[in-house]
Chain A
Amino acid sequence: MKLKLMGLVATVAFGALSAGAQSLNGAGATFPNPIYSKWFAEYAASHPGVQINYQSVGSGAGIRQASQGIVDFGASDGPMTDQQMSEAKVKLFHIPTVLGAVVPTYNIPGVNAELKFSGDIIADIYLGKITNWNDARIKAINPGVNLPDHQILPVYRSDGSGTTYIFTDYLSKVSSDFQQKVGKSTSVRWPVGIGQKGNEGVAGMVRNSPYSFGYVELIYAVQNHMSFGVVKNAAGKFVKASTDSVTAAAAGAAAHMPDDFRVSITNAPGAEAYPISSFTWLLIPLQSADPKKGEVLKDFLKWMLANGEQQAPALTYAPLPKNVALKVAGAINYLK
């Protein structure tokens, strides 16, 4: 704890000290950190004299520091709540940047087929209602798969994370029981199961424990060549997660996109949409304390839409769909 506190203090001190005109500090989500680092480095290279520092301290800390004006901008995997918005000292605007997804993963000895899941089945596994791999409901959507008569070990993320937020947001939408008993948050009270720290912890536990079931970020699963299940979407189709199906989910949700971009796109409509998807956002002050910094942020966002988005698929992030990118381009003009 001491280390974390010290880290926080260091971030605070750092943010306060370096108030150079062209040096910006941001803090927040860890999930988009690889692509943000790449973007900020490339932007700095093509814009001499500008430097953007980003610290991946977590979405919660990102929201806190940005709302208090400790950093020039924040980043979060989950949208801020209405209460957080109204309590914030610095009014923040959500700019979606890229998309992520969460995939179900499992380890059943003797089963090599790609298993199909639906939202209510996943919710009931974590509620402790479905306890056996042999359950009639799992068998019904996986015909031909010889599921063993063995207890399921549900594995969840014990550390607070955007991954858990997206996952529980989806489960709360598809299961009213899950919404009442658990709800959505970066960490929740899981009725059953075992908690593991980080994607690597969950993945390691699932790999090592026979008959286990867990959830990890799509990027982590792809980069580590893990096999994962397909999930039934709102249109009733079974979809495998990929950068394309995740972007499709965002495109499907774009029709109902509110002006402040604070939207959940889990269980999105559209035949191709992968249901456990989400935006990740940059939290930009509506009015930057230093107008020069505000100009740099606006310019960076324009650069991101024009150049940055193309690099996303190479890093297995899903880029914004065209209709959303257009809407973001329009919104940037209102920032000061």
Chain B
Amino acid sequence: MADTRIKDAEPPALLKLQVNEPHAVAGHAVEGKAPAAIREFLNKRGSGAAGDGAFGALVLACALSILGIVVLILFVLIQQSKLSLHAFGLKFFITSAWDPVMGDFGALPFIYGTLVTSFLALCIAVPLALCVAIFIMEICPKPLRGPVAFLTELLAAIPSVVYGLWAVFVLVPIMRDHLGPFLVKFFGWTGLFSGTNFGEGLLTASIILSIMILPVISSITREVMGAVPVSQKEGVLALGATRWEMIRIAVLRNARVGIVGGVILGLGRALGETMAVTMVIGNHPDIAKSLFAPGYTLASVIANEFTEATGDLYLSALIEIGLALFLVTVVVNTIARLLVWFVTRNSAREAR
């Protein structure tokens, strides 16, 4: 959260320089002439070059440990799935067989389910989260602002199994008896809502996912919007813009990069979410065009089958599913980051 705000407030390159430089600058000052009073005071307290170096090393070690953990995860995933990698090769990622009895495994239906539910969840959650954030920051009466913001953030604190239970007992019947028939009646022509609607399936999973990622996206959007200077907003208003135009030109345009950052975080949560999705997606490894059809995600199949997996190849295939999830997350995040990079590069050129 803080990361995106800083990025928006000041250019990151400058920030880095500031972190590295003070040590050197302080050294020069000491060599030159008599140290300033404040330096003398700090020296007396015992903090100095040694403390600076130690702190730098500590922070560096912490930062590198993240890299180390990621490499270790990748290494273990590849090493443990060696058997399956040898048996199926790259075909594993593009075949749709998943038959523990015959020992034939492929990850495609799971990758498909993960991507479809995550993107559908984003399609539902992003507009909603933006509206919530705009309402809280710009339109909501001041006294209500705190409570409403608190309520949206409360959504993030609910455990995913509770979301799952709620979905099973509330969302699934609504989906089966009301929302499903409505979609068939008005959008049946798209072919996305064909087949029998049992209340569970890709669409239900996407809806529950969208509710889960909404607070993440909206709270980050809110933070970023709050960082837009008031002077800019007032400037736009002074030029005769309406309130909507002010939000569009001054707020959303300035906060664009931060909002995309929030969306990426939400996407990350959607890709890896396990429990709530497992409870309502139907757990059937098929690639179906209809959003009513049951599906399966990468995270769900691991959660479902890992404990009782008998046989080395089966276990190895499940770990390779974990590897697939890792790769999907990396690829999707990379694409999203590249998107942000393109957008900011173009806007920088426009500004010039």
- Interface residues of A, Cβ cutoff 8 Å to B: 1, 4, 57-61, 63-64, 78, 81, 83-84, 151, 153, 158-162, 182-190, 193-197, 201, 204-205, 208-209
A182-B101, A190-B284 given; 4 more Cβ-contact pairs under 8 Å: A1-B302, A60-B310, A189-B97, A195-B304
Q: Which of A83, A151, A194 is in CB contact (< 8 Å) with B200?
A: A194
Which of chain B's residues 159-206 have a Cβ closer than 8 Å to chain A? Answer: 168-169, 172-173, 176, 196, 198-200
Known interface pairs A193-B284, A208-B173; A60-B278 also in contact (CB < 8 Å): no
A188 vs B173: C-alpha distance in the bound complex, in angstroms? 28
A189 vs B101: C-alpha distance in the bound complex, in angstroms? 8
In the complex, B279 has a CB within 8 A of chain A: yes
Closest Cβ neighbor of B300 among chain A residues:
A158
Whether the Cβ atoms of B308 and A58 lie closer than 8 Å is yes
Whether the Cβ atoms of B284 and A195 lie closer than 8 Å is yes
CB of A167 to closest CB in B, whole Å: 13
A186 vs B172: C-alpha distance in the bound complex, in angstroms? 27
Whether the Cβ atoms of A197 and B304 lie closer than 8 Å is yes
Whether the Cβ atoms of A159 and B304 lie closer than 8 Å is yes
In the complex, B21 has a CB within 8 A of chain A: no
Whether the Cβ atoms of B310 and A209 lie closer than 8 Å is no
**A residues near B199, Cβ cutoff 8 Å:** 209
Q: Which of A159, A183, A190, A194 is in CB contact (< 8 Å) with B307?
A: A159
CB of B275 to closest CB in A, whole Å: 9
CB of A114 to closest CB in B, whole Å: 25
CB of A307 to closest CB in B, whole Å: 30
Residue of A78, A83, A161, A187 with highest tally of chain B CB at under 10 A: A187
**A residues near B278, Cβ cutoff 8 Å:** 158, 197
A118 vs B306: C-alpha distance in the bound complex, in angstroms? 32
- List 24 A-B residue pairs with CB atoms under 8 Å apart, sorted by A's residue number: A1-B306, A58-B308, A60-B307, A83-B311, A84-B310, A84-B311, A159-B303, A159-B307, A160-B308, A161-B308, A182-B101, A186-B310, A188-B99, A188-B101, A189-B99, A189-B100, A190-B284, A194-B282, A194-B283, A194-B294, A195-B294, A195-B304, A204-B168, A209-B198
Known interface pairs A189-B101, A189-B285; A160-B309 also in contact (CB < 8 Å): yes
Whether the Cβ atoms of B100 and A1 lie closer than 8 Å is no
Which of chain B's residues 275-303 have a Cβ closer than 8 Å to chain A? Answer: 278-279, 282-285, 294, 296, 299-300, 302-303
Whether the Cβ atoms of A158 and B304 lie closer than 8 Å is yes
Residue of B169, B282, B305, B308 with highest tally of chain A CB at under 10 A: B308
**B residues near A194, Cβ cutoff 8 Å:** 198, 200, 282-284, 294
Closest Cβ neighbor of A56 among chain B residues:
B307
Closest Cβ neighbor of A165 among chain B residues:
B308
CB of B281 to closest CB in A, whole Å: 9
Closest Cβ neighbor of A83 among chain B residues:
B311
Known interface pairs A58-B307, A58-B308, A60-B308; A189-B98 also in contact (CB < 8 Å): yes
- Interface residues of B, Cβ cutoff 8 Å to A: 97-102, 168-169, 172-173, 176, 196, 198-200, 274, 278-279, 282-285, 294, 296, 299-300, 302-311, 315, 322
**A residues near B279, Cβ cutoff 8 Å:** 196-197, 201
Whether the Cβ atoms of A195 and B283 lie closer than 8 Å is yes
A208 vs B200: C-alpha distance in the bound complex, in angstroms? 11
A194 vs B199: C-alpha distance in the bound complex, in angstroms? 11
Whether the Cβ atoms of B176 and A209 lie closer than 8 Å is yes
CB of B179 to closest CB in A, whole Å: 16
**A residues near B304, Cβ cutoff 8 Å:** 158-160, 187, 195, 197
**B residues near A184, Cβ cutoff 8 Å:** 101
Closest Cβ neighbor of A186 among chain B residues:
B308
Q: Which of A84, A182, A196, A209 is in CB contact (< 8 Å) with B283?
A: A196
A185 vs B305: C-alpha distance in the bound complex, in angstroms? 11
Q: Which of B98, B99, B100, B303 is in CB contact (< 8 Å) with A4?
A: B303
**A residues near B305, Cβ cutoff 8 Å:** 159-160, 187
A61 vs B306: C-alpha distance in the bound complex, in angstroms? 9
A161 vs B310: C-alpha distance in the bound complex, in angstroms? 11
Closest Cβ neighbor of B172 among chain A residues:
A208
A184 vs B198: C-alpha distance in the bound complex, in angstroms? 27
Q: Which of A84, A185, A196 is in CB contact (< 8 Å) with B100?
A: A185
- A-B pairs with lowest CB-CB distance, top 9: A160-B308, A195-B283, A58-B307, A158-B283, A183-B101, A60-B308, A186-B308, A159-B304, A189-B99
**B residues near A61, Cβ cutoff 8 Å:** 307-308
**A residues near B100, Cβ cutoff 8 Å:** 160, 185-189
**A residues near B172, Cβ cutoff 8 Å:** 208
**A residues near B285, Cβ cutoff 8 Å:** 189
**A residues near B307, Cβ cutoff 8 Å:** 4, 57-58, 60-61, 159-160
**B residues near A189, Cβ cutoff 8 Å:** 97-101, 285
CB of B218 to closest CB in A, whole Å: 27
Closest Cβ neighbor of B99 among chain A residues:
A189
**B residues near A84, Cβ cutoff 8 Å:** 310-311
**A residues near B284, Cβ cutoff 8 Å:** 190, 193-195
Closest Cβ neighbor of B302 among chain A residues:
A1
CB of B208 to closest CB in A, whole Å: 15
Closest Cβ neighbor of B303 among chain A residues:
A1
A265 vs B338: C-alpha distance in the bound complex, in angstroms? 59
A186 vs B311: C-alpha distance in the bound complex, in angstroms? 11
**B residues near A158, Cβ cutoff 8 Å:** 278, 283, 300, 304
Known interface pairs A60-B308, A194-B284, A201-B279; A208-B101 also in contact (CB < 8 Å): no
**A residues near B300, Cβ cutoff 8 Å:** 158
CB of B338 to closest CB in A, whole Å: 28
CB of B181 to closest CB in A, whole Å: 14
A151 vs B195: C-alpha distance in the bound complex, in angstroms? 12
CB of A168 to closest CB in B, whole Å: 8
CB of A26 to closest CB in B, whole Å: 16
Closest Cβ neighbor of B272 among chain A residues:
A1
Known interface pairs A195-B283, A197-B279; A159-B308 also in contact (CB < 8 Å): yes
**B residues near A205, Cβ cutoff 8 Å:** 168, 200
